[in-house]
Structure 1
Amino acid sequence: MAAAERSRAEKPRAGEPGAAAGGDRFDLWLARLTEWPAAALVVVEVVVLFAGVFSRYVVNRPLTWSDELASILFLWLAMLGAVVALRRDEHMRLTAIAALLAPVWQTRLRALAAAIVAVFVLEIVVPARTYVEAQWFITTPALEIHDSFRVAAIITGALLMLVIAVRRLIACASLPQMLGALAVVGLVAGAFWLAKPWLMGLGFGNLVVFFVLLVAACVAIGVPIAFSFGVATMSYLAVVTRMPLTIVVSRMDEGMSGLVLLAVPLFVFLGLLIEMTGLARVLVAFMASLVGHVRGGLAYVLLGAMYLVSGISGSKAADMAAVAPVLFPEMKQRGAKPGELVALLSASGAMAETIPPSLVLITIGSVTGVSIAALFTGGLLPAAVGALALAVVARLRGRNDDVSGITRAPLSEVGKRFVVALPALILPFVIRASVVDGIATATEVSTVGIIYALLVGLFVYRQFDWRRILPILVETASLSGAILLIIGTATAMAWALTQSGFSRALVQIMSGVPGGPMGFLVISILVFTILGSVLEGIPAIVLFGPLLFPVARALGINEVHYAMVVVLAMGMGLFAPPFGVGFYAACAIGRVSPDLAMARVWPYLAVLLAATVLVAAVPWLSIGFL
């Protein structure tokens, strides 16, 4: 989720004139050049992977080339999605600090951020070209295609992002401000180069300069997180090592090309589909008929809906956008305050981070090697513990709800709504059964859910707006590209940290934490709560997962158990003000000022902290059903 994420209702549709900044023809042309191919790639990936499942399980004639073709197209989808996200200003960034400044300084920082983005993508163009030439000698085993055709996506994406970054720099600042931003970038680069002998003598201290101070400075001024990681890594390698800069491109390729990560765009697409096809609406209506008549009942419905919908979509932004519009009007009629509603919505998003098929769980499995099926199984009970804790607070806060005019739904009405909701209730079980029974992999199973949602929307609920398909596909590509570019640059950054010897030192330090395994878990909760607030869950996992999961294993902590503790902690940080971007996304979706919700969210986060500590203390909650 981008820090400045807006409600989907406020966004122009892809390809429409309103989608262009200022409505100019060049930007409209650029939108069509990038958004339409990216949307088409999402469709092709669904078709290719589902064809692989169908041919293997139904026809019993496996397609040997389906995964290979999906992998080739995936890198193009990731890079074009990153381009779309940059043009639509949807890359994950921290805006809270810049928003505190005077307007003139905000403009200057926007210009500086745009200049830094332009410099980074310019820096990787030449290494990307070298990497493309080197990959020409590698051919794929099934299709026998030169790998250069796949990795050419990186240089293509870099050139397109360079055009966008330069246009944004020109558009957002006057000539003096633009020159000033470029001068600041040049001065900092020159200072690093002149300080090269001193930096090389710092040992691990230079890691603090580049990967703490430089990253923090970039994030604080509003540079998207992915580009902040990339600039820090390129600067470190160029100044204090003799490593070729092509290693950054190759590590980005490695981080973004793992086929398991193809589940990210497909589950995002599935989450948007269930909102559009009405599956989320009928689920909420059914649960409201069960408990909507009791005090705090609709709060329970919201928690239950987030639990069920999260198990379908995998995207917290999609979850909140599907549930809030259905419940908020009725809850307001019963006297609930808007700030309270957003606080509960935000906390429920944090609670739902471990519910499969969470994108964070998929990322953990990708970068640490932990079984994704085991993570999906282990995530259900910890989320249930969090939901029960939130329900207690919701009951106390809702004890004054006006339910005098609300009658209990008769059993016949409950039964009718159950029948109507049954196709939607079946979807999470279809997804889980497909993985457990070996019908589809964790990557392919999303296509099973997509086909199921399409059929139910078309033929059961008959709620299918064809006009929204292109915007949904573009939004899928944009969000996925923003996530995957972070994973790519964070993979390069993690590689640099590993090569410096920092990872070995970190393992030694963390292994000696007082209190043994429990002390390590407590520190992990604190660290990942902070990281979740500042970096969000996925980049934090990509950076620190490969470093800390081996430490947990060495201390005898089950990796699934550790993953649940880490994800719950990051969820709290992600939805905790003042920096948690998930909190601001909830405010945008609920259309409520953050000031009204900030004070009300803390009791919910406090009980989530208690639930996280309970999950950490009782491993059975995470691994009891493995």
Structure 2
Amino acid sequence: MEVIVLFSVFLVLLVLGMPIAFALGISSLSFLLLEGISLTIVPQRMYAGIDTFVLLCIPGFVLAGNLMNVGNITEHIVRFCNALMGHIRGGLGLANVGGSMIFGGISGTAVADAASIGSVMIPGMAKSGYDKPFAAAVTAASSTIGPIIPPSVPMIIVGSLAGVSVGRMFLAGAIPGLLLGVAMMITVYILAVRRGYPKERRSTLRELLHEGRTAFWALLMTAIILYGIIGGFFTPTEASIVASLYALIVGMYVYKGLTWRKLPAILTDTVLTSSGLLLLVGLANLFGWILTSQQIPQMVAAGILSISENPLIVILILNLILLFVGAFMETIAALIILFPALLGVATGIGMDPIHFAVMAVLNLMIGLTTPPVGVCLFVVAGIGNLQMLSVARAIVPFLVCNLIVLFLVSYIPAISLWLPNLLMGE
């Protein structure tokens, strides 16, 4: 009875539009009160949820993303991608995807990517003759590449949940992220040709080299982060601090978009965003503890395996569950609540934990662009001053593209496992 109340309160609050963190907290509180469990468990479980060293990199990467955006680093990334691909039909859309791949490879968050790239590309694409819903859809879809390509905040979360190396998780996401980016570029090109979208003037070699030189410092950041983690020079948490310091120096002294007067606002925004994320992690851990105490994960695992023990069927079921949840729940909360239970099912049919982790993150990233709760859809609709329905319609081809990549990643383990096994050993 109490479990029914737990889920009922949670779902009602979600439907009413309450932030996911508060929905998790209030539903958990209702369960504890009905069960007569001491409320001292609330701070204990919340603290246990965030008392992980690797989670310190969340505010670090959030700060790096904010510094990039204000320090004109994002603009130089977009300009370089446009110089490289702008002359192709639909070139601005291709540059949008390319910029998101580079930006996401530094900030590791989809929403920051959608907001920063979108603020530059959506008005620019609309002015150049692209349909504004298409521009918003490209931005939203490509923003989900960031949390797949390293570094990635969701990969950090699942790494800590699964007890596997975060560096190995980062490497496992590299090829799927690149595959996702290439698939989106192909989709953009096909749509651009069909709809007759414009193409820009081909950049001269001098212009291309100029944009490459100016973007060099932004591109170097990703190389430093990955080489440092893979080479064992610093942990992911230390990498986030290195990224922030690098973004501060480059934004202030190279691109000169940052000033000391802008730093208080940047730090305030970082604190608010990071505290919101960590509050969500803490409350999701409390909710997950309740589910574990009621043996819900075991029931879910038994229910899935009672349908079929065929690995192909089980993987399909896991994907359907994650896609459904991702359409309604915030990524980090979904990972903390569902991942431990579904990981047991995945390992039970012989899946590698890292393979399953990449598959799970990719599913939930697709959820960020799926109505009704697709956060990135709301972000780009706000930037473009568009109705949500028009953006949701425009993103359908990209959802199909993403599902094809998800199918490949789910059923071909080598896409996720080849690179970490090659560089870090099996």
Q: TM-score, normalised by structure 1?
A: 0.65
1:4-23 matched pairs, under 5 angstroms:
none
Give the equivalent residue in structure 1 for 2:152: 358
1:595 aligns to 2:381 (yes or no): no
Equivalent of 1:623 in 395, 417, 426? 417
Residue type matched to 1:530 in 2? F
Contact 2:309–2:349 (CA under 8 A) maintained in structure 1: no
Give the equivalent residue in structure 1 for 2:340: 546
Give the equivalent residue in structure 2 for 1:229: 24
Residue type matched to 1:322 in 2? S
Give the equivalent residue in structure 2 for 1:526: 320
Deviations 1:344-386 (A, max 9, x none): 1111123333122221111111222122111100111112222
Give the equivalent residue in structure 1 for 2:5: 209
In structure 1, how many angstroms separate the alpha carbons of the residues matched to 2:270 and 2:404?
34
1:239 aligns to 2:37 (yes or no): no
Contact 1:251–1:495 (CA under 8 A) maintained in structure 2: yes
1:377 aligns to 2:171 (yes or no): yes
Residue type matched to 1:346 in 2? A
Measure how far apart 1:299 and its partner are: 1.1
Contact 1:269–1:472 (CA under 8 A) maintained in structure 2: yes
1:28-43 matched pairs, under 5 angstroms:
none
Query: Gaps spanning 5+ residues in structure 1: where?
Result: 1-198, 200-205
Give the equivalent residue in structure 1 for 2:83: 289
1:464 aligns to 2:258 (yes or no): yes
Residue type matched to 2:357 in 1? A
Equivalent of 2:370 in 573, 576, 581? 576
Give the equivalent residue in structure 2 for 1:345: 139
Residue type matched to 1:239 in 2? L
Residue type matched to 1:378 in 2? A
1:386 aligns to 2:188 (yes or no): no
In structure 1, how many angstroms separate the alpha carbons of the residues matched to 2:65 and 2:312?
36
SS of 1:365's partner is helix
Equivalent of 2:247 in 435, 453, 471? 453
Evaluate the alpha carbon distance shift between residue 582 and residue 330 of structure 1 in structure 2; reply closer, same or farther with a 3 A threshold.
closer
Measure how far apart 1:515 and its partner are: 5.2
In structure 2, how many angstroms separate the alpha carbons of the residues matched to 1:402 and 1:550?
49
- How many pairs does the alignment contain? 418
Equivalent of 1:326 in 103, 111, 120? 120
Deviations 1:34-64 (A, max 9, x none): xxxxxxxxxxxxxxxxxxxxxxxxxxxxxxx
Give the equivalent residue in structure 2 for 1:305: 99
Across the aligned residues of Structure 1 and Structure 2, the Cα RMSD in angstroms comes to 1.7
Deviations 1:544-576 (A, max 9, x none): 112221221222101111111111111111211
Residue type matched to 2:358 in 1? M
Evaluate the alpha carbon distance shift between residue 590 and residue 366 of structure 1 in structure 2; reply closer, same or farther with a 3 A threshold.
farther
Contact 1:276–1:465 (CA under 8 A) maintained in structure 2: no
In structure 1, how many angstroms separate the alpha carbons of the residues matched to 2:385 and 2:151?
27
Contact 1:286–1:418 (CA under 8 A) maintained in structure 2: yes
Give the equivalent residue in structure 2 for 1:507: 301
Equivalent of 2:51 in 257, 265, 270? 257
Deviations 1:280-326 (A, max 9, x none): 21121112111101211111111111011001012222212222233
Give the equivalent residue in structure 1 for 2:68: 274
Measure how far apart 1:513 and its partner are: 4.1
Task: Using CA pairs under 8 Å that are at least 6 residues apart, name the structure with larger relative contact order, 1 or 2.
Answer: 2
Give the equivalent residue in structure 2 for 1:113: none
Measure how far apart 1:261 and its partner are: 1.0
Which has the greater radius of gyration? 1
In structure 1, how many angstroms separate the alpha carbons of the residues matched to 2:376 and 2:388?
11
Query: Gaps spanning 5+ residues in structure 2: where?
Result: 421-426
Equivalent of 2:198 in 394, 402, 412? 402
Deviations 1:442-468 (A, max 9, x none): 111111111111111222222213332
Give the equivalent residue in structure 2 for 1:175: none
1:436 aligns to 2:248 (yes or no): no
In structure 2, how many angstroms separate the alpha carbons of the residues matched to 1:445 and 1:285?
26
Contact 2:228–2:239 (CA under 8 A) maintained in structure 1: yes
